[in-house]
Amino acid sequence: MKKIRKILIIVLLSGFLLVSCSNDDDNGKTTLEILSNKPESIALYKSLIEEFEREHPTINIKFQVPPESDTVIRTKLTRNKLPDILSISADALYGEMGREGFLYDFSGSELLENIQPAYLDMLSRLVGEDVDGVYGIPYVTNAVSVIYNKEKFEKYDLDIPTTWDEFIQVLETVKDEGELPLYYTLQDPWTAMPSWNAIAGNLVSKDFNVQKTNGETSFQEAYKEAAEKAVTLTEYGQRDIIGVGYDDGNRAFANGEGVFYIQGNWVIPELLRINEDLELGTFPLPATNDPDQNNIISGVDAALLMSESTEHKEEALQFIQFMLTEDVAKHYIEDQKAFSAIKDIPQEEKAFEGLEQYFTNEDITSFVDHYYPKGFGHDGIVQELYINKDVEWALKKLDSEWDKVIDR
């Protein structure tokens, strides 16, 4: 919030007028600027934009997916040139923009009627439950799960575990067979987070970020069990868990190394590209011994946001409405092997059959790190935890780094 307030001061001192970055073309068309932070969906978005422009010949769309998108967005904020529409992950930056009034409020809009409540709640908590308004529409969601090699799963006659103890027993069985249970790719620090999120998401209060910032709790108090369980899982990884990066790990797992891989849905297309004959299954990581408390970890991977200051609200709303139509939303998740925040649009990829009931029943819990402050550096700390196994050091480090970011 402090960063956004500084931006507002800069804007006022610079004398910028509240104007939209949109312009009208010389040929009379309305131009909408759309910014996405998802390079993996560039081709898909371009094809959808072409379809929209055919259906709306008076609207032209300028589409961009810049590197370092958060930095670009913050720069545009200082210049009062926020794009008409943003299609970005829902995280701390979204929350800041919503709190400070940069985003259009969709409260009461019929566009929200078919959105799953769990994802609306996630956005609400990012902005702050004491702030009224709905400043984005959840669109595409993701999920972290345990991905498994079906051939090996059947070879060792394994059953899907629904509790933590059952999961550990399955890992022990695989280990006793002389097989590698879990494959890790910790050379890339961010890959430390899927298992961290999958465990902590079901063990830590969803209000941790607020309580931590208010000095009411700490990582040392709230995350001890989660950190210990995350470290326990590393004992079932390869000997050198930091020696392999994400790309090499994908190739290794796709080609038969390891039985389980804790990752997000985004890795499935890559695994199948490497080995089209690979049969995969998925199940939520059971972090507790109560099956009813083990939810799927899912977050808003792309929310549709609209600038409050856009001069073309009507045209922007037309594009958002187009994206929310059933055919377009279904095409999006099929192409990206993702999930939809819109009700009754299931992901039909066979690998995700084990997750379907959790989405249907809305047994959904968010990624804990979506609520961590920007610039926290948590992935590097968790990566080091997995290597040195020092839970006390890691939790103290997470506490101190969080406090530094908040105090800036």
151 and 277 share one domain: yes
| Total domains, the chain | 2
Which of 340, 358, 376 is the last residue in one of the domains? Answer: 358
Q: pTM for the whole thing?
A: 0.87
Same domain? 242 vs 376 = yes
**Side-chain half-sphere of 334: how many Cα atoms within 13 Å?**
8
H/E run at residue 54:
helix 42-55
Q: Which of 317, 338, 358 is the last residue of a domain?
A: 358
pLDDT score for 3: 47
Q: Are residues 199 and 329 in the same domain?
A: no
What pLDDT shows up at residue 408?
A: 76
Do 262 and 186 share a domain, yes or no? yes
Q: Let me know if residue 346 belongs to a domain.
A: yes
pLDDT tens digits, one per residue of 332-390:
999 999 999 999 999 999 999 999 999 989 899 999 999 998 889 999 999 999 999 99
pLDDT at 310 over 70: yes
Mean pLDDT calculated for residue range 53-66: 96
CA distances from 255 to 149, 151, 155, 184, 369 (A): 10, 12, 16, 15, 30
Pairwise pLDDT comparison (8 vs 50), residue with the higher score = 50
Q: How confident is the model at residue 12 (pLDDT cuts 50, 70, 90)?
A: very low
Among 339, 358, 377, where does a domain finish? 358
Do 27 and 149 have their domain in common?
A: no
Domain contains 339: yes
> Residues 34, 119: one domain?
yes
88 assigned to some structural domain: yes
Distance, in Å, from the CA atom of 307 to the CA atom of 316, rounded to the nearest integer, reads 9
Q: Residue 23: inside a domain, yes or no?
A: yes
Q: Are residues 92 and 219 in the same domain?
A: no
Q: Do 134 and 158 have their domain in common? A: no
Task: Tell me, yes or no, whether 130 and 27 share the same domain.
Answer: yes
For the record, the structure tokens of 269 come out as 């297309």
Contact 181, 174 (CB under 8 A): yes
At 238, which CATH number? Answer: 3.40.190.10
How many CB atoms lie under 10 A from the CB of residue 332?
A: 21
Q: Whole-angstrom Cα distance, residue 61 to residue 323?
A: 14
What is the DSSP secondary structure assignment for residue 203, as one 8-state letter? T
Region 46-55: what's the mean pLDDT? 97
Residue 199, domain extent: 143-297+368-407
**Residue 180: pLDDT band by 50, 70, 90 thresholds?**
very high
- Is 400 inside a domain boundary? yes
Q: Is residue 239 part of a domain?
A: yes
Q: In degrees to the nearest 10, what's the CA dihedral of 377, 398, 293, 296? A: 0
52 plus 131 within the same structural domain: yes
Predicted confidence band of residue 25 (pLDDT cuts 50, 70, 90): low
Distance CA(376)–CA(373), nearest Å, equals: 6
Residue 280 lies in a domain: yes
Same domain, 247 and 338: no
How far does CA 161 lie from the centroid of its chain?
A: 25
Residue 363 lies in a domain: no
Residues 272, 392 share a domain: yes
| Whether pLDDT at 46 is above 70 | yes
